[in-house]
Amino acid sequence: MTDPAANLVDPFGRAVTYLRVSVTDRCDFRCTYCMAEDMTFLPRKDLLTLEEIDRLSSAFIQRGVRKLRLTGGEPLVRRNVMSLIQSLSRHLGNGLDELTLTTNGSQLHRFADQLAEHGMKRINVSLDTLDAAKFRFLTRWGDYHQVMRGLDRAVRAGLKIKINAVALRDVNEDEIEELLRWAHGRGFDLTLIETMPLGEIGTDRTDQYLPLSLVRTRLSQHFTLDDIPDSTGGPARYVRVRETGGRLGFITPMTHNFCESCNRVRVTCTGTLYMCLGQEDAADLRTPMRVSDTDDLLHAAIDEAIARKPQGHDFAIDRNAAPAVSRHMSATGG
C-alpha cells in the first residue's frame, strides 16, 4: 500500500524533488527549433483542469517535491492561470521551497506583478536573440519589443530573471557574447542550451546544432570562466564570468548529459507523467484522478512510474535519424 507521506526515490537512489508541470501545449510563438508553424494543438477537453493540476501538484509536494515549475507551451496564455498560481502558493513554506515558471516573456507586461504577489521570486525567460528582426524570424509570430517591456515590468516587480537561450548554428552563435554582456549588465543570469531532438519541426536539426563545448571555448577567448558548484535544481552547470561578475549556465544534453543527478520529472497538460525528457515511457495520472475522489490511486500510479525512471536518456543528433522523441517540447513542457 502506498504511503502518501513517503518521499519519491527512483531505482538509482535519486530523490525526486523537482516537478515541471505543463499547463498548456498552446503558445503564442512558433519558434523554429521547437514546433512547426502549422501546429495542431490538443482539444481543450483533453487538458487537465486547473483544479486537477493543483491536485496533482499537491500530491507530488506531499511526496517530497520541493520545487515546482509551471511550463507550456506558454503557461501565461492558459486562461485563469493566475488562479492556479495563487492556489499553489499556499504550499510555499509548507513543503514547497520554490514556485516558478518558464515563459517566453510575451505576457509578462500583464502578469509580472501578480506573479510576485503570489510568491514567485524568480522566473526563466526564453530569449535567443537581441535582434528584433531575427527574433521575429525565430519565433515567427513574436514581438521583441513586447518581451522587452515585459522584462522591464518583471524587474520592477522584484522578480529575479534567468535568460534561457538556445544556441543555434548560423543563427545566433555570433551574438552569444553580446547576449551575455546584456544579460549580466541587467543583473540577469544567462543559461545556454543545446538544441534537442524533440518532435518534427519541418527542418533538419543537424543544421541548427551547435555544441556548447565549442561555444565555451569561444567565450573563453574573451572572458574568464570560473567553474562554480551552484545549482538551481535543474540540469545546468554554472560558471562565474569574472569580467561581468554574472553567472553563466550550460545545459548540454547532447555533448554531456546530466542524467546522473536527475531529480526531476515532468507532467504534461493532459496528465501524462514522463520520468525522463529523452524517453517515451510515461504514466497516465489523469485517469486515477478522474475515477476516484481520493488520491490513493494517484499516489499508487506515481509510485509505479517512479519505479521505472530510467538512468538516462538516449539523445543523439543524427542527420539520417528521426527525432529521438516524437512529441514536441511544447507538449511535455520545457
Longest dimension (CA), the chain: 59
**H or E segment and range at residue 267:** strand 264-267
pLDDT in tens, 71-116: 999 999 999 999 999 999 999 999 999 999 999 999 999 999 999 9
User: What are the domain boundaries of the chain?
Assistant: 18-332
Ordered DSSP codes for 88-114 = HGGGBTTTBSEEEEEE-STTHHHHHHH
% residues pLDDT > 70 (the chain): 86
Ranges of the chain with pLDDT below 50:
199, 201, 315, 317, 319-325, 327
- Annotated binding-site members for [4Fe-4S] cluster: 27, 31, 34, 259, 262, 276
Residue 154 confidence (pLDDT): 98
- Annotated binding-site members for GTP: 20, 69, 102, 162, 264-266
Residue 204 confidence (pLDDT): 53
- Which of helix, strand or coil describes residue 207? helix
Residue 322 confidence (pLDDT): 47
Sheet holding 237-241, edge to edge: 225-228, 237-241, 247-251, 189-194, 160-167, 122-126, 98-103, 67-71, 18-22, 264-267, 272-274, 282-284
- Annotated binding-site members: 20, 27, 31, 33-34, 69, 73, 102, 126, 162, 196, 259, 262, 264-266, 276
Cα gap 64→8, rounded to integer Å? 7
Residue 277 confidence (pLDDT): 72
Whether cis (ω within 30° of 0) applies to the bond prior to 73 is yes
Q: Kindly compute the dihedral angle of the four CA atoms of residues 145, 146, 147, 148, in this order, to the nearest 10 degrees.
A: 50
Any idea which fold 18-332 has?
A: TIM Barrel (3.20.20)
Residue 161 confidence (pLDDT): 98
- Annotated binding-site members for S-adenosyl-L-methionine: 33, 73, 126, 196
Contact 246, 184 (CB under 8 A): yes
Q: How many residues does the chain have?
A: 334
Q: What sign does the CA torsion over 53, 54, 59, 65 have?
A: positive
